[in-house]
Amino acid sequence: MPGIPKYFPILLLAATACLGGCKKNVDTGILSTGNFGDTTGVLKDAATFPIGTAVNNGPMQDAQFLAITKRDFSSVTFGYEMKHGAVVKDNGTIDFTTPDAMVSQLGNITIWGHTLCWHQNQNATYLKSFAGIVIPAAAELSTNGGFESGLTGWSVFNSGNPSGSATITATTVASEVHSGTGAMKVVNPTAYPGSQWRVQVSSSTFATTPGKSYIISYWVKASSAGGSIRLSLGSAPAAGSSQYQGDQTIGTSWQQVSFNFTAATATNTFLFDMGQAANTYYIDDASIKEAIAQPDQSQIAVKLDTALKTFITSMVTHYKSRVHAWDVVNEPFADNPVAIRTNVNTSTDAKDVLVWSNYLGRDAAYKAFKYAEAADPAADLFINDYNLESNNAKLDSLLAFVKELKARGCKVDGIGTQMHVSRTSNLGGIDNMMQKLGASGLKIRISELDVKAVAGSAAGGPTPQLLAYQAVVYKYAVESYMKYIPAAQRAGITIWGINDKNSWLYNNGAEYPLIYDNNYNKKPAYSAVLQGLKGK
């Protein structure tokens, strides 16, 4: 059967008729370990379509890494440096310095843009703040609100009738303090019904912005039941906002009292009024902060739409002369069950995660493609996802989603399948995927190919046998691509890195997934890819 390695035994050959539902795993007790010794040749010269690799800024500073990149590959994808988190600063501006330098280093080699709309590797701190998903803590405007410095910053305006019949002092008695070491103690021996202002203490002046809302809060208790306190403003608030808080009945346990107002002036003060009822009052932890409203979901969606449009438009426009194809939408589906990503089916623990589709729904992908097309109508625009070779439901869902996007008027030129696979991967699943992708009529690309060699083996390292099994899967992936993807639809194969130690899977030597070893020697996998491209 065309495309099957000659050293496969008859048992495995018979299995090649199975697709999707038929297990066709690489079995270490069956496969040969030979036929991958010849590494003569250059990968990009063996193909009629782009052969790419992934690069990052650090490894590119190694002259040998860069030389191999230029020698063996006709295109590159930046593993990180064009992503949102790499270029968007905390104030929302975009810094192109690093990717620009990389583009310059690479000369005329084709660059594949990666990626414009993904839930990971983002400046999610900026996005969440900009959209109002996370409300930044408002600044504390009070001076000595905890009375840790006695009555510094506080002024006694009225102390009873006659003046001085009420006493206002600082206290450090533990039972009279709410938190910290200090509080204010007000002893009013005389009740002045209807005249709270007869005993009155003022805060220091604090800055306000006319039109903004503020909240004043404080903790208070009385020595006996039936106390009464009121808060008032030193300057009139905005129209429709009260200058006085209603009388608050105060008991013998600490209680927090709050008062909201909208500022009409650039500065203000507030006053505690305690003349209504004779009692001893303890006041602590006074606070003044701007009351920042939490936006609703529709407001958040509008802000994120703006941020998505800004990023995509800026990136595509900036690299329009050098990047002619983009992974516009990356990994739109969650697994098990397969569904468009939300905050429920996607982990949001990492600080660089923001799930666009949680807020924009299916429109996240639609908008991303529309913004990319508007910025560069001539660019090839792709959607990219993983596990398509092992999750048939995800493959079918992605194909259906692409049809939906195209029916809505999106320019979706192609599909990328990542293929982060293993020496134990189901080969029938690879064929099944390639057949379905080829039948879409779109451009198809293996976008992030790597093959785990160790894959949990007790051997614990890249033994010659494991490297041979790895090579088998590399070759099979290339052969399946060439067999089932028509020539006109082949957008290329990108191997996700060059040498093992620079792979995202390396994990300090736990895995060896690429076609060069740590010393830039060609592995059997290199020969396997070369053979697959040449049809040998």
Give catalytic residue positions: 331, 448
CA trace torsion 398, 303, 92, 124 (10° rounding): -50
Measuring CA to CA, which residue among 334, 435, 343 is closest to residue 387?
Answer: 334
Alpha-carbon separation of residue 417 from 96, 437, 498, 502 (angstroms): 28, 9, 19, 21
Indicate the SS3 state at residue 69: helix
Residue 516 dihedral angles phi and psi, to the nearest 5°: -120, 145
Q: How far is CA 90 from CA 85, 86, 94, 123, 127, in A?
A: 10, 11, 9, 7, 9
Residue 93 and residue 126: Cα distance in Å, rounded? 10
Instruction: Enter the DSSP assignment of 522.
Output: B
Task: Assess contact for 125 and 131: CB atoms under 8 A.
Answer: no
Amino acid at 146: G
Please state the φ and ψ torsions of residue 34, each to the nearest 5 degrees: -110, -170
8 Å CB contact between 157 and 271: yes
> How far, CA to CA in Å, does 480 sit from each of 3, 163, 411, 420?
7, 95, 27, 15
Q: Are 114 and 53 in contact (CB under 8 A)?
A: no
What ranges in 73-208 are assigned the alpha helix state H? 84-87, 97-106, 124-131
How many other C-beta atoms are found inside a 10 Å radius of the C-beta of residue 441?
10
Contact 202, 231 (CB under 8 A): no
Show the 3-state SS of 309-344.
HHHHHHHHHHCCCCEEEEEEEECCEECCCCEECCCC
293 DSSP 8-state letter: P
Beta strands in 44-162 (DSSP E): 51-55, 75-78, 110-117, 155-159
Tokens of 534: 């040449």
- How far is CA 270 from each of CA 161, 222, 229, 236, rounded to the nearest angstrom? 21, 20, 13, 11
- C-alpha torsion 89→90→93→95, nearest 10: -10
Kindly tell me the burial class for residue 191, based on how many C-beta atoms sit within 10 Å of its own C-beta (0-12, 13-18, 19 or more): middle
